[in-house]
Structure 1
Amino acid sequence: MARFGAILLQNDRSIRSYDIRNGDTIRLKVIPLTKKPIIYLYSPSDIDVSVKLSLIPEWSLSVIYPVVAIEDLGQRLEWNVRTHQDGILTEHNSGLDVSYLFWEAKANLDAFPLSPASKPQPVPVDTFNPITSSLDDMDSIVIPVGKVAAYLDQSLKALGLHTEARTSFITYWLPSFLKHEYIALRFVPQAAYERAASLSISPQPDVVTRVSMLFKGIPKEHLANWSNAQMQADRNVGWWVDVVGVDPVRASDATLFRVLEWGGTEVFN
């Protein structure tokens, strides 16, 4: 998919031709897709819960389950469920029993600058935007692909994910990891992620844990640009707890009403 001037190139069969001439420059932009954020709700007693998700304009919902109405150009939805003490959720509209709520989102094409010469505007450090998401040598770790699964299991456990969530997280992303020699990854601060994908839950949970990972493949010949990130891979994984801003002790307290979400995005810039 690409944008040339004001022309969007994509694999859409409804688009038949483009006014591209010899000597024109085409700039390609791979659009990131935030995949499989899933939301678990755990309560010490059965309760009815409203879960509202609101995305910033740079995002729009692409897939949800259970299916409910999507509002505001694909940027808002509401699930109404009944929690059960075994972790199962009953979605009121359909009557479906599910283990979790599922959503995916894609970046909105209109949010990309039309001019190839346009430069991204500087943003605060503690900001998450699906279009401008990136990783660098200072905020990430870089490890060989063969060590990623073990590293993630340790990191996700430190962040408060239970065994099933860790297993689902790793096995979902493993095929994408295995396409690369080395992986750079980081976890998004929860407060920044919340501003991009706001969750409004009623009644209010005692604790909310939202873990979102960004990653990209690193060719072996580019490792010299990631010397600090390689050293950071040897740190105790507990440092991600402060980066993300979660409370893993309360997240595992079965006497509390708890919400857990995990997801990720592969970036290409």
Structure 2
Amino acid sequence: MRENWSLRSYDIRDGSTISIEAKCRLGKKPVIYLYLPFDIDVSVKLSLIPEWSLSVIYPIVATEGHGQRLEWNVRTHQDGSLTEHNSGLDVSYLFWEAETNLPHSPASKPQPVDTFSPTSSSLSDTDSVVIPVDKITVYLDKSLKVLGLHTEARTSFITYWLPSILKHEYIALRFVPQAAYECAASLSISPQPDVVTRVFMLFRGISEEHLANWINAQMSAERDVAWWVDVVGVDLVRAGDMTLFRVLEWGGMEVLI
């Protein structure tokens, strides 16, 4: 993730108080695929919590609530493509990114484990895996495949994040439970899908000198990647049933400490 800091400058004198407001772009490239065995009109509404504001949308539609809500109206096609009604654009998926609205002071209470907030997200030795950067692509491909991402989605996911990943020696990563992610970025789709799969990854770079703090996470990297299915909460049977209305979303963000 590229940092996108905007700073306010002031006439600083002896005894002055310095106030800095920063925005850091998070929620990178969540994309939403819609799959149905027939063509229908679908409404896709996305609502973000106040800690997030939409920064990039495609196809472009109007936003509401200080950039925290939007609605796409599309026509689905059996090949997986979509036609956005307002623009007439034919697209493979719906795309959004968001920036954090950072609080002026740190949160006083830690986030419960079953919630997700873009301003206080973290990874720990107990909920993550740590992998050498030269092994990350194979691990990610296996994990994303078991989570239900098809070949194009896995390829797009990995190649999008690879430039950021390759800057580090080791990577700590985890996938956010769908229920927790839904609380931060709610999807409302009509008609209602039969199954929704939302895969959102958090990651951060780890230097070799800090590996001793990640012993459990290194051991977890040796586990069968199927354990992420239970963590995220994926219904693989229904997600793979091509007779159903299926929604698939993937996205992620780099956690900067």
State whether structure 2 residue 249 is matched by structure 1 residue 261.
yes
State whether structure 2 residue 84 is matched by structure 1 residue 91.
yes
Q: Deviation per CA, 1:14-39, whole angstroms, max 9, x where unpaired?
A: x4435265998999978351100000
Q: Which residue of 1 aligns with 2:40?
A: 47
Q: Which residue of 1 aligns with 2:123?
A: 135
Instruction: Summarize the alignment of residues 117-136 of structure 1 with structure 2, pairs less than 5 Å apart.
Output: 118=106, 120-136=108-124
Percent pairwise identity:
73
Task: Select between 48-57 and 17-26 the one with higher mean Cα deviation.
Answer: 17-26
Q: CA deviation at 1:247?
A: 1.1
Q: Deviation per CA, 1:201-256, whole angstroms, max 9, x where unpaired?
A: 00000000000000000011000000000000000000000000011221121111
Q: Are the structure 2 counterparts of residues 39 and 18 from structure 1 closer, same or farther at C-alpha, using a change threshold of 3 Å?
A: farther
Q: How far apart are the structure 2 equivalents of 1:105 and 1:203?
A: 26
Q: Secondary structure at the match of 1:157?
A: helix
Q: Which residue of 2 aligns with 1:4?
A: none
Q: Which residue of 2 aligns with 1:182?
A: 170
Q: Contact 2:74/2:83 (CA < 8 Å) preserved in 1? A: yes
Q: Which residue of 1 aligns with 2:31?
A: 38
Count of residues in Structure 1 that have an aligned counterpart in Structure 2 = 253
Q: How far apart are the structure 2 equivalents of 1:199 and 1:72?
A: 16
State whether structure 2 residue 202 is matched by structure 1 residue 214.
yes
Q: CA deviation at 1:122?
A: 2.3
Task: Give the counterpart letter for 1:125 in structure 2.
Answer: V
Task: Give the counterpart letter for 1:256 in structure 2.
Answer: L
Q: Are the structure 2 counterparts of residues 20 and 168 from structure 1 closer, same or farther at C-alpha, using a change threshold of 3 Å?
A: farther
Of 201, 206, 230, the match for 1:242: 230
Structure 2, unpaired ranges of 5+: none
Of 213, 227, 235, the match for 2:215: 227
Task: Give the counterpart letter for 1:170 in structure 2.
Answer: I
Structure 1, unpaired ranges of 5+: 1-9
State whether structure 2 residue 96 is matched by structure 1 residue 103.
yes
Q: How far apart are the structure 2 equivalents of 1:33 and 1:90?
A: 27
Q: What value does the CA root-mean-square deviation take over the aligned residues? A: 2.0
Q: Are the structure 2 counterparts of residues 154 and 252 from structure 1 closer, same or farther at C-alpha, using a change threshold of 3 Å?
A: same
Instruction: Summarize the alignment of residues 134-153 of structure 1 with structure 2, pairs less than 5 Å apart.
Output: 134-153=122-141
TM-score by length of 1: 0.89
Task: Give the counterpart letter for 2:66 in structure 1.
Answer: L
Task: Select between 27-36 and 43-52 the one with higher mean Cα deviation.
Answer: 27-36
Q: Deviation per CA, 1:144-168, whole angstroms, max 9, x where unpaired?
A: 0011100000000000000000000
Q: Are the structure 2 counterparts of residues 174 and 206 from structure 1 closer, same or farther at C-alpha, using a change threshold of 3 Å?
A: same
Q: Contact 1:214/1:265 (CA < 8 Å) preserved in 2? A: yes
Q: Contact 2:21/2:104 (CA < 8 Å) preserved in 1? A: no
Q: How far apart are the structure 1 equivalents of 2:28 and 2:238?
A: 26
Task: Give the counterpart letter for 1:59 in structure 2.
Answer: W
Q: How far apart are the structure 1 equivalents of 2:203 and 2:234?
A: 20
Q: Contact 2:32/2:249 (CA < 8 Å) preserved in 1? A: yes
Of 141, 159, 174, the match for 1:171: 159
Q: Deviation per CA, 1:104-142, whole angstroms, max 9, x where unpaired?
A: 001013x341xxxx5531222100000000000000000
TM-score by length of 2: 0.93
Of 177, 181, 188, the match for 1:200: 188
